[in-house]
Amino acid sequence: MKTTNTPDTIVLIHGLWMTPRSWEHWVKFYEAKGFKVLAPTYPGMEGEVENLRADASPIAALTVQKVVDHLAKFVEALPSKPILIGHSFGGTLVQLLLDRGLGAAGVVIGSAPVKGVYTLPVSQIRSLLPVLKNPANFNRAVAFDEKQFNYAFTNTLDAESTKFAFERYAVAAPGHIVFEAAALNFDPRAAAKVDFKKEGRAPLFFITGEHDHIMPPAVARANAGKYQTGTVEFLQMPDRDHSIALEPGWEEVATKALTWAQAHA
C-alpha cells in the first residue's frame, strides 16, 4: 500500500518485442494499492499489438536515443518524481533515466546492460542471433517466431503458455537497437551509457530470473557491479525466465519491486 512519504506514481517501461500490454496485470495490481500507474510506449508504437504486427514500420525507425529522449520528456512532465520499473531493454532505459536525474527509485527486471558491461553468455548470443545474423536487419523491424520466442522469453514455460504469451504480447523489435546493443562497447558515441560514479543517483534494484536466456543473471550481476555510488542491489529469483513479469507468480515479482522501491525512494 502507498504510504504518505513515498512517490504516488509508478511508470512501467516495457522492453523489446513487447508493448505496454505486457504490463496489463501490473497496472491493475499497483492501482489497487493506491498508485497512479502509467505505462508509456516508445514513439510511434502507440497502436495495439495486432496493429503493430500488421504494420511494423514505426518500430523499424526506433533508436536508443529516440526512445530515451521520448521517455525522458514523458517523465519530466509528471508533477513529481515517480518510481521507474523497466523490463529487459526497459531496464536499460530506466538506468538511462536515473542517470539524467529522473525518478525517485528504479527497479530493472531482466535488464539489458548499459555500456561498460562485457559479460556475454552463449544463451544471450543465441537469443539475439535471429536479428544479428542478417546485417540487413539493421533498418528493419524483426519479429521472433514462436520457437525463437520460447527460447528467448519463455524457456521455463510449457507449449500452451508459450503460445498464449506469444500471441498476446509479442511484436517485432527494432533491429537498429539490437545492433546498437551488440556494438555497445565498441561505439564511443553509444547512447546507452551512464556515469557509474555519479553522485545523487536514485536507488536502483536489479531483479533477474535464474533461467533467463536473453538477459542471463550474469549480465545483470555484472551491470549492477559496475555502479560505484548510490544504493544498488541485486536479486536473482529461482525458477524464472525472461518472461518473469508475465508468467505465473508475477505477483511476487511485482511485490518485491514495489516493496524495495518504497523502502528506498
Find cell 500488421 and name the residue.
Answer: 54
Q: What is the pLDDT of residue 3?
A: 54
SS3 106: strand
- CATH topology for 9-264 is Rossmann fold (3.40.50)
| Averages of pLDDT over each 10 residues, the chain, 265 residues | 76 98 98 98 95 96 98 98 98 98 98 98 98 97 98 98 98 98 96 97 98 98 98 98 96 98 96
| Calpha distance 228→134 (Å, rounded) | 37
DSSP 117: -
Provide DSSP, 46-79.
-S-HHHHHH--HHHHT--HHHHHHHHHHHHHTSS
Q: What are phi and psi of 30, to 5 degrees?
A: -80, -35
Q: What is the pLDDT of residue 4?
A: 56
In which element (H, E) is residue 148 found?
helix 146-152
Give the domain ranges of the chain. 9-264
Q: What is the pLDDT of residue 90?
A: 98
Check if the beta carbon of residue 83 is closer than 8 Å to that of residue 103: yes
| Calpha distance 154→144 (Å, rounded) | 12
Q: What is the pLDDT of residue 6?
A: 81
Check if the beta carbon of residue 234 is closer than 8 Å to that of residue 206: yes
CA 183 from chain centre, in angstroms, equals: 19
Q: What is the pLDDT of residues 169-195, one digit of tens each?
A: 999 999 999 999 999 999 999 999 999
Residue partners of 164: CB distance under 8 A and separation at least 6? none
Q: What is the pLDDT of residue 137?
A: 97
Which whole-number Å values give the CA distances from 217 to 11, 59, 183, in the listed order? 24, 27, 21
Q: What is the pLDDT of residue 1?
A: 57
Find cell 536487419 and name the residue.
Answer: 137
DSSP 88: T
